[in-house]
A and B are shown apart, each in its own frame.
Chain A
Amino acid sequence: MKELTYADALREALREEMIRDPNVILLGEEIGVFNGVYKVTRGLLDEFGPERVRDTPISEAAIAGAAVGLALAGMKPVAEIMYMDFLPICMDQLSTQAAKMRFMSGGQLNVPMVLRTQYSLGRQHGSQHSQFTPAWFLQVPGLKVVLPSDPSDAKGLLKSSIRDPNPVLFVESGLLYRTKGPVPDEEYTVPIGEASVKKKGEDITIVAVSRMVNESLAAAKKLEADGISAEVVDLRSLQPFDLETIAESVKRTARLVIASDDVKRGGIGAEISASVTENCFDYLDAPIMRVACPDTPIPFSPQLEQEYMPNADRVVQAVRGVLGK
């Protein structure tokens, strides 16, 4: 097994899939000549040429619309939207077109596109370039949403997303691009819709999303020192999400904390909490608690942003609150 950064693992996935399937093409802002803002597409223009790696104008509506058209025409476009905050510009293409085509055509049309994007919370990019809004897409049936937290899952899930015949929103974390982790040498994929138990535990389940998986693992380590055994489940896919794995864990631990970087109100945690309550009520020993961002725009000031962001300590605090310890 080799060590790769999250960004390089994504690059490997793109490269391998481009070699595997000539219909896979990339498009987005600064992905070619500039090698990508986060260097995920480094070297791919040189290797595959401008026909398959296309720099686009600064028009997210055009990028998403072109991707939908390409996908309908039989290509497998992987489009990049530089910041998740720009997705509202693509929303009509994503929600109204891409997510509905297969259903409305009675299965005659497929939209095998991937829209890669990232969120930059914690990088002092301000209110308009830092948001993490996957929960918006919970209201868009027909669109898959994945959000890997480590290099291995990043590679395996991106390959699955490219091969999936349906549109997939692939959400990366800006703060994770430079983190390293083991990645299998051999060919592999990670199935969409399966959560992963990153650490086994007995006393409480922490379901974490994207960057908060690492924070939750750090929290679990701190809790372990105090004799509290926390299980950390990486959600990995938000739509569809793996209620089965979460429920299995909650039924054992009887307690649940959900950690994510989105705004708490109406967020990922709300949906998971409601689903767990509906399915596991009689197994719960305490209210389900959410660790997420306050209901305000994200501050630019580094100090305020640090205060705004959830972290390992907040997870520890929430776990202690739930356990009353």
Chain B
Amino acid sequence: MTEVVMPRLDPGMQSGKIVEWLKKEGDTVQKGEPILVVEGEKTTFEVEAPESGPLTKIIADVGTDVLVAQPVAIIGSPGTPLTAAASTPLAEKERTAPAVAGYGTPSDRVVASPAARRLAQEYGVNLASVKGTGPGARITREDILAAKDAGRPTAQVAQTVSKAPQATVLKRVKLSGVRKVVAERLGYSARTGVPVTITVEADATKLMTMKEKQSHVGFTAFGVKAAAKALRNHPEVNSTIENDEVTTYSDVNVAVAINTDQGLVAPVIRNADKLSLQEISSAIEELARKAIENRLGIESLTGGTFTVTNLGAYDVESFAPVINPPQCAILGLGRIGYKPSAHGKDVVVRPSTLLTLVFDHRIIDGVPAAKFLRDIKRNLEDPEEL
């Protein structure tokens, strides 16, 4: 008997949602054969059978969210009669199974009156945390009002807001998929990190000249290459932090922020420091196409050590992006354009761009960060050397 558990495909992954069962109970499955499809935090992937044998029990139905390492199915030993195989694991599973199978099952439905549901939403009270005192333990209006009064200051704020004139709602959408991941990860980053922002201006004269010759290479590729080259000399920036532990890497894996219909994704260009400008440019194009088609594999979404994001195409001068956790730093590229600039006592008009580095002060201090950013600036100002 073998348990099929929710795999962790990324250090940040907390749970996965069952999208589809490719096999049904009673089917015989082969080791390595995909048996279900799971929506992880970054992508959708197929889970393979860890052993061969009859699929004796599906524990988590389609639509349920299952915590990493919790069982989703049971595969019996080859040749075991279905019934016998099913009975043993079921008994064993009783302690842990409800925690998984309980999600969204009808028996777990919160019994609350329509009025209670309306008020819970209005006051930001979590229905699941309220004990119902009405007939059949139904959560009543009074229960919500009591929960709100007993509640936290946030509930009070929500109440005040609810009494003010409300805007007309266009639609309400529950965070899910990529949007949910973006919200959770960047929210986590904003809550836990100590971000510091520094900006420098880079002379883009040579960059413009070179870009004219190689029009197919995007500015993002220049930024990635310049950062990758600088990271090689600043391993302290090429790092991640998790649970008070900083890890620095010998590989320079640069993630690139890409906008899709579903939201932001940051696929990774591995060993970017060892790739040519041309190779980086092609890699970005390839990743962007896959991202838009929602075909990014898990392998292209994990292992990033630094991130580059570019809003220059949208006329943004400069911006301070949120660090992509658990990474140490992120580089934001602004618009490249002709701007007046002081040269000694003269003003010249030349192409320039603003480079913004946001770094986590828990990992590195201001001076090493400034030195790192200065290296990026120098790399970009001398792009022939890239």
Contacts and interface: CB of A to CB of B under 8 A. Distances in A.
Nearest to A321: B135
Interface string A266-289: 000000000000000111111000
Contacts of A283: 114-115, 118
Interface residues of A, number: 10
Contacts of A321: 135
A249 B286 CA distance: 63
A284 B135 contact: no
Interface residues of B, number: 12
B132 to A, nearest CB: 10
Contacts of B118: 282-283
B138 interface: yes
B135 A286 contact: yes
A324 B142 CA distance: 13
Contacts of B113: 254, 284-286
A324 B132 CA distance: 11
A282 B117 contact: yes
Interface in A282-299: 282-286
Interface in B111-166: 113-118, 133-135, 138, 140-141
Contacts, number: 33
Contacts of A282: 114-115, 117-118
A285 B133 CA distance: 12
A281 B116 CA distance: 11
Contacts of A324: 133-135, 138
Interface string B148-188: 00000000000000000000000000000000000000000
Given A254-B113, A254-B115, A285 B135 contact: no
B114 A281 contact: yes
Contacts of A254: 113, 115, 140-141
B117 A285 contact: no
A316 to B, nearest CB: 16
A286 B138 CA distance: 9
Contacts of B133: 324
Nearest to B121: A282
A284 B112 CA distance: 10
A283 B141 CA distance: 9
A231 B162 CA distance: 27
Contacts of A281: 114
A284 B114 contact: yes
A254 B142 CA distance: 10
Interface of A: 254, 281-286, 321-322, 324
6 contacts: A254-B115, A285-B114, A285-B115, A286-B138, A324-B134, A324-B138
Task: For the complex of A and B, list the 9 residue pairs with the smallest distance between their C-beta atoms, beginning with the closest.
Answer: A324-B135, A282-B118, A285-B113, A285-B115, A285-B141, A254-B115, A284-B114, A282-B114, A285-B140
Given A254-B141, A285-B115, A321-B135, 15 more contacts: A254-B113, A254-B115, A281-B114, A282-B114, A282-B117, A282-B118, A284-B113, A284-B115, A285-B134, A285-B140, A286-B135, A286-B138, A324-B133, A324-B135, A324-B138
